[in-house]
Chain A
């Protein structure tokens, strides 16, 4: 398959060998991200969102390891690179933003030094130039009085400002791709809106691709161009965000959208939220067939025995037996 995608993830499978058997938190996941495109990865806890992100950038904690599939960045295979080669990729070509801004920053180092150190490591520039670059990065992410804040330490910043600094750090090496793992989950709504707008604006300006991992369907709707819905380590549905959220085909996606209360659009007669019964299966007790079948409202006989494969339907790609026969 040759496309001009920025990032191609093909049948990525991650294994964690344990005494009680091998866990497969990510199972044959495939998707692409283009330049300048924001792709959301959504799912509930345990769906494999974060592990997919870590696997792409080679940050899996042993004993977890990539057991199959490939990750290519602009046509170059990165999933079998060694640590040294990966170090050239991380920060320079793929930036990361994690959930908790306090733990992603070094508490004993000033913001300016953290930024210029990163710039020097990736861009082959001197100290003075790096400091200028750091200042520009802080201005770009909207830190007020950036010049005087360069020598401040992380604890002197508020939560939203820290997350801006982390975004500045991720962008300073001018990467082609950013992996943002729940970047606003720890923030208040008003600040969340600021940070998401910032991420969206900067990435469109610089033509950077973004993989935005979140569990919030509202964030997905407002921020992303395309969305990958994960369930129990497998892709349930991939497609254009608007298409997937308004006309979801997979019953799990329908359930997720229906379960999300909407602040603007709820009928006066307090209708019930659409609930999905049960919870996501544990990795050691994965059901046979489609992993969603025990919770699915439209379960059929075939679902209990056969794993659905991904197939193209209208504008989405879906792994579901529902309506699949009609097409074949």
Chain B
């Protein structure tokens, strides 16, 4: 087993979603909080892809933002290559952050429309590397070619590109400071499938050539199956199952994972009838007691609505479900 590049321990983020003070006093309401991420633990091996999958409100993007330092955790730790991002010295943090970059979901909103592509791609070089203007220009050209664009594209503006090409620009920017770890937040969900295939293939080629480590966030299990080495499943802020890709798809242990895999549409599922789960994702401000999934779970037992399941580990997979409270039975 490889050493892990990223380790996340008991990561928690609570948002205050209370109404303004005066409204609260007048309506005699208490403060309200939303636990977006609740004690999440995982680690990512160097050079591998860890996918976080979950539906809306599961806390995927909040975790991504905490890993790149756009949000600070309420509690818990993020270690990147041994550096604790919350407590390390400023010099350590800035040298570590240079090695982390992010690819965003919306290729239309994440590129400044008034900047030329070469300035967008070159910005991390200016921020993190002390290089001359000619070296910078050379590096930008290399990056553009690496992601399948031409060096002439550097002089253009983002509106001159299609969605897939814009996402390539976003990838080139993410690679500019020679990072090791890239957080990808739904990088292809805004793209058409033929273009999605181009971008996913490109990301895999870059990983192989540059030895990158990815945290891949998505709601699309088919993409997970294609990209990930290890998969974590989130539900309402809790990591309910984490397993190597093949094991997760072959023998999902948590009823929610089983449901997700069953509900995903399949290209070969002709006329398939789903046994769809009841209900929808509950309000995260007042989540169900005990296991968050129990109101929708077909396999629930009596204790599920009172007892929060503890995480059970076996080999390199983990599950938190009362059905597996005596260790994993698969």
A residues engaging B (CB < 8 A)?
A: 44-45, 158-161, 188-194, 196-197, 215-219, 221-222, 241-242, 245-246, 255-266, 268, 270, 272-277, 279-280
With a CB–CB cut-off of 8 A, which chain A residues contact B221?
A: 189, 263
Nearest chain A CB to B168's CB is how many angstroms away?
A: 12
With a CB–CB cut-off of 8 A, which chain A residues contact B265?
A: 189, 192-193, 196, 216, 218-219, 221-222
The reply to whether the CB of B281 lies closer than 8 angstroms to some CB of chain A is yes
Nearest first, the 10 closest Cβ-Cβ pairs linking A and B are A218-B265, A259-B197, A44-B192, A261-B222, A188-B55, A276-B194, A193-B263, A273-B197, A275-B197, A261-B226
A242 touches B270 (CB 8 A): yes
A221-B269 Cα distance, complex, nearest whole Å: 6
A268-B228 Cα distance, complex, nearest whole Å: 12
With a CB–CB cut-off of 8 A, which chain B residues contact A256?
A: 193-194
**Cβ 8 A contact of B201, one of A191, A194, A218, A272:** A272
Number of residue pairs spanning A and B whose beta carbons lie under 8 angstroms apart: 144
What 0/1 pattern do residues 149 to 172 of B give for CB contact below 8 A with A? 000000000000011110000000
With a CB–CB cut-off of 8 A, which chain A residues contact B164?
A: 279
A49-B165 Cα distance, complex, nearest whole Å: 23
**Cβ 8 A contact of B269, one of A222, A257, A277:** A222
**Cβ 8 A contact of B270, one of A197, A216, A222, A259:** A222
- Residues facing A in B236-282 (CB within 8 A) are 246, 249, 259-274, 276-277, 280-281
* Residue of A whose beta carbon sits closest to that of B282: A158
**Cβ 8 A contact of A190, one of B263, B267, B269, B273:** B263
Nearest chain A CB to B299's CB is how many angstroms away?
A: 15
Nearest chain A CB to B253's CB is how many angstroms away?
A: 17
**Known A45-B163, A193-B263, A256-B194; 19 more pairs at CB < 8 Å:** A189-B55, A189-B263, A190-B260, A191-B280, A193-B277, A197-B273, A215-B192, A217-B193, A218-B222, A218-B265, A222-B270, A222-B272, A222-B274, A261-B200, A262-B222, A263-B224, A263-B225, A263-B261, A276-B194
Sampled A-B contacts (26; CB under 8 Å): A161-B280, A188-B280, A189-B221, A189-B260, A189-B263, A190-B259, A190-B280, A197-B273, A216-B265, A217-B193, A217-B267, A218-B269, A221-B270, A222-B266, A258-B197, A261-B225, A262-B266, A263-B221, A264-B266, A266-B226, A272-B201, A272-B204, A273-B226, A274-B197, A279-B162, A279-B165
* Residue of B whose beta carbon sits closest to that of A194: B276
Nearest chain A CB to B263's CB is how many angstroms away?
A: 4
* Residue of A whose beta carbon sits closest to that of B196: A259
Which of B56, B198, B222, B246 gathers most chain A CB within 10 Å? B222
With a CB–CB cut-off of 8 A, which chain A residues contact B137?
A: none
With a CB–CB cut-off of 8 A, which chain B residues contact A219?
A: 265
